Amino acid sequence: MHGLRVCLSIATIILAGPLAAPAAEQSLEPSQPAARRLVDAPSSFNDSCRRYPWFCTNRTTGAKPVDQADLLDLARKINRRVNLVVSPLSDAENYGVADYWTLPNNGSGDCEDFVLQKYKLLLDAGVDSRDLSIAIVLDRQGDNHAVLVLRHSSGDLVLDNLSSRVRPWNKTGYTFLAMQSGDDKTRWEVVMNQPRDSNVLAQR
């Protein structure tokens, strides 16, 4: 089923210090997770950059830029489409290795593979690469997970293989640990932000 969690391998990201700062210290920007410091990129990310340069560079595809008015509808369509056609499967089952980020060309993949597919479809549709980032989070069960973050005029939105909905980052109930920089696609930043919304926190 599409809610299967197969992303435990991304726990190899090493974040020094506590998991999240106390709420009084977080000083969140409501529209997006607040970057705190640089962190080494996951090794599997670096490998995917060698195979997919478009994932790790700021560039345009030549496609007509997407208007902000149309961006949310496009994101919803791509999120639903990929979630329907790709079947969740761990890298160990799929490729015989613990962690391997790749396009799910065989019709199956784990959470990072869902992210790659959505990233490419949005990029090919004309979305600016600076508005797309992969983020590492803890889901509501405390499991490691990866999602695609889309920068929108209303704030950062999350495309998630565990949900058919495209939601604001602070409505997911996830704890954001680290994410790819929008300005330098090879750089990763610690964010360690929890959602501000009290109703979401109460549901965890």
Q: What is the pLDDT of residues 50-107, one digit of tens each?
A: 999 999 998 766 677 888 889 999 999 999 999 999 999 999 999 999 999 999 999 9
Average pLDDT, the chain: 83
Per the domain annotation, does 115 fall within a domain? yes
Segments forming the whole domain that contains residue 146:
29-203
Per the domain annotation, does 173 fall within a domain? yes
CATH number at 101 reads 3.10.620
Q: Are strands 108-109 and 87-88 parallel, antiparallel or unpaired?
A: parallel
The set of residues, in sequence order, having a beta carbon less than 8 Å from that of 137 and lying 6+ positions away, is 144, 145, 146, 147, 172, 174, 175, 176, 177
Per the domain annotation, does 46 fall within a domain? yes
* Number of domains into which the chain is organized: 1
Number of residues in the chain: 204
Q: By C-alpha distance, which of 150, 116, 9, 186 is closest to 158? A: 150
pLDDT grade for 125, boundaries at 50, 70 and 90: very high
Q: Is the pLDDT of residue 108 over 80?
A: yes
If you average pLDDT over residues 25-37, what whole number do you get? 63
In this prediction, residue 62 carries a pLDDT of 64
